[in-house]
Amino acid sequence: MDQPIFLVYNEQFQSILGTGADLKVAFEEDFPFAYQGGVYTPANDVLYVTSNQYSLATGQDKVAIVSKMTRNIYGQWARHQVPNQVRNPAGGAAYDDGVLDGVLFCAQGDMENPTGLVQMEADYPFRIRTLVNNYYGRRFNSLKDVAVHSDGSIYFTDPVYGHDQGLRPAPELPNQVYRFDPHTGDVRVVADGFGRPSGICFSPKEGTCYISDTEFIHGNGHVDFERASTIYAYDVGDRAQSKFLMNRRVFAMADVGVPDGLKCDLAGNVYAACGDGLSVWSPGGVLLGKVLVPGGLANFSFGRKGELFLLNGKKLWILRVADTVKGALVNRESLRYEEVD
């Protein structure tokens, strides 16, 4: 890829790209180290990523690992493998509950270990603790992605991809989305009717929740063009002193592959990791543009203002856009954001 390819479908995308948009490989390995996760902590300029399943040696079971990516003053990146305490990690989010400051991962588990929300300490010795791993005795399937609401509750998707891939037992629950309140222990279903729920995020003011359905691609590699490759939008409403996801509607559909990881910027634009790269829609569902990446993306993360980290399996890409572009998640989770601009 000699020159980055930006597809502009709406003039609003030009204001996102700015005048110096650029895409470069920041770090590369010979195994898919940068697949999911994409959790950036701006105060320390650290990015946590999780790998795709891979075999350490011929005949061995496949594993997935957590890597801590750091950047020096010259902009050079290094990868530090975290002791593999989180069993088959997938999506993640920054999380500080006052007890353990670190990263919340969707641990997909395996045939012996349950899937669940696992909190990992941000630094050595990377202690972990499980927050929830069942729905009143029924085991979750294989948690995929997570979004933390400002009220402290945690929303997460739970598709059956683990069973599709032969990593998890037969499903005990439908493909659903859940809300967990760590303060009360309440766990509830907030959205159903999915083929494979995957990415999840909130709009900047948390009035809308976006969830992607990636049933177009099954975990065994099968592709079905009649299945969903869709982002749905829900209103986040209050009823009986509790939060509910209401008024489901189609927000957008990916034309190439599936919309996997989702995030919003502060303007409310919705970004999705798709089969051909990064796609961006306006809050009204208008496709503004794309950043084409060879091999597509599974997930991504906003970094400092005007910066995004794109997870491409064996490559970590850095996308530079206009300085006015900031991730809504980063802005909400770090009051020290301006200190690291």
What's the order of all strands across the beta sheet hosting 46-50? 36-41, 46-50, 66-71, 77-81
pLDDT surpasses 90 at 153: yes
Confidence tier at 63 by pLDDT (50, 70, 90): confident
Q: To the nearest whole number, what is the mean pLDDT of the chain?
A: 90
Q: How far apart are CA 263 and CA 95, in angstroms?
A: 16
Residues 6 or more apart whose CB falls under 8 angstroms from that of 28 comprise 314, 315, 316
Q: What is the pTM of this model?
A: 0.93
* pLDDT average, residue stretch 143-156: 95
Boundaries of every domain in the chain: 5-335
Q: Contact, 137 vs 166, CB < 8 A?
A: no
pLDDT surpasses 70 at 164: yes
Bridge partner list, 309: 301, 318
- The upper half-sphere exposure of residue 5, i.e. CA atoms within 13 Å in the direction of its Cβ, equals 8
Q: How far apart are CA 310 and CA 301, in angstroms?
A: 7
Window from 185-199, 211-225, 262-276 with minimum mean pLDDT: 211-225
* pLDDT average, residue stretch 151-164: 93
Q: Contact, 66 vs 89, CB < 8 A?
A: yes
Q: Among 262, 263, 267, 269, which residue's Cα sits nearest to residue 284?
A: 269
**What is the percent of the chain where pLDDT is above 90?**
74
Q: How far apart are CA 103 and CA 37, in angstroms?
A: 9
Window from 109-118, 182-191, 219-228, 329-338 with minimum mean pLDDT: 329-338
Window from 47-51, 133-137, 222-226, 278-282 with minimum mean pLDDT: 222-226
- 337 vs 240, residue with greater confidence: 240
Q: Which two tokens stand for residue 340?
A: 């690291």
Q: How far apart are CA 336 and CA 72, in angstroms?
A: 19
Looking at CATH, the fold of the domain delimited by 5-335 is given as Neuraminidase (2.120.10)
Q: How far apart are CA 235 and CA 322, in angstroms?
A: 29
Confidence tier at 27 by pLDDT (50, 70, 90): very high
pLDDT in tens, 285-296: 999 999 999 999
* Alpha-carbon torsion, ordered 292, 306, 146, 283, to 10 deg: -80
User: What is the per-residue pLDDT for 60?
Assistant: 60
Rounded to whole angstroms, what are the CA distances from 31 to 71, 77, 80, 239?
20, 16, 14, 47
Confidence tier at 64 by pLDDT (50, 70, 90): confident
Confidence tier at 334 by pLDDT (50, 70, 90): very low
Confidence tier at 2 by pLDDT (50, 70, 90): low
pLDDT in tens, 243-268: 899 999 999 999 999 999 999 999 99
- Amino acid type, 65: I
Helical H segments across 93-185, by residue range: 161-164
Report the alpha-carbon angle 170-36-208, nearest 5.
90
Rounded to whole angstroms, what are the CA distances from 117 to 211, 212, 337?
18, 19, 26
Q: How far apart are CA 226 and CA 44, in angstroms?
A: 44
